[in-house]
Amino acid sequence: TTVGAVTVRAGSINLDDHSLTDGTEVGTKSNSGAVAGVVDVEAAGPVAVRNGARIGSDNFFSGRAGDVRVKGTTITVGGQFSELASTAFGTGSAGVVRVEASERIDVVASALVASEVYGNGTSSRVEIRAPVLEVRGSGNSRDITTVSTGRDGVIDIEVGRVLVSAGAHVRALTNNGNAGAIEIRAESVYVDGQGVLTSIGTEAERGSAGILRILARDEVVIRNGGALTAWGGGRTARPGAIEIA
Cα 180 to Cα 45, 74, 121, 213, 241, distances in angstroms: 33, 27, 13, 12, 12
- Decide: residue 62, CB within 10 A, 0-12 exposed, 13-18 middle, 19+ buried: middle
Cα angle at 38 between 172 and 25, to 5 degrees? 80
pLDDT of residue 86: 97
As a whole number, mean pLDDT of residues 30-36 equals 86
Q: How far is 239 from 241, CA to CA, in rounded Å? A: 7
With cut-offs at 50, 70 and 90, classify the pLDDT of residue 173.
confident
Q: What is the mean pLDDT of the chain?
A: 92
pLDDT of residue 152: 87
As a whole number, mean pLDDT of residues 176-193 equals 93
Q: How far is 128 from 124, CA to CA, in rounded Å? A: 13
Its pTM stands at 0.94
Judge whether residue 159 has pLDDT over 90.
yes
**Distance, C-alpha 243 to centroid of its chain:** 21
With cut-offs at 50, 70 and 90, classify the pLDDT of residue 1.
low
The residue with greater pLDDT, 236 or 75, is 75
- The segment with the largest mean pLDDT, out of 33-37, 53-57, 147-151, 175-179, is 53-57
As a whole number, mean pLDDT of residues 123-150 equals 93
Q: How far is 106 from 168, CA to CA, in rounded Å? A: 12
Q: How far is 36 from 59, CA to CA, in rounded Å? A: 6
With cut-offs at 50, 70 and 90, classify the pLDDT of residue 113.
very high
Helix (H, G, I), strand (E, B) or coil at 180: coil
Helix (H, G, I), strand (E, B) or coil at 97: strand
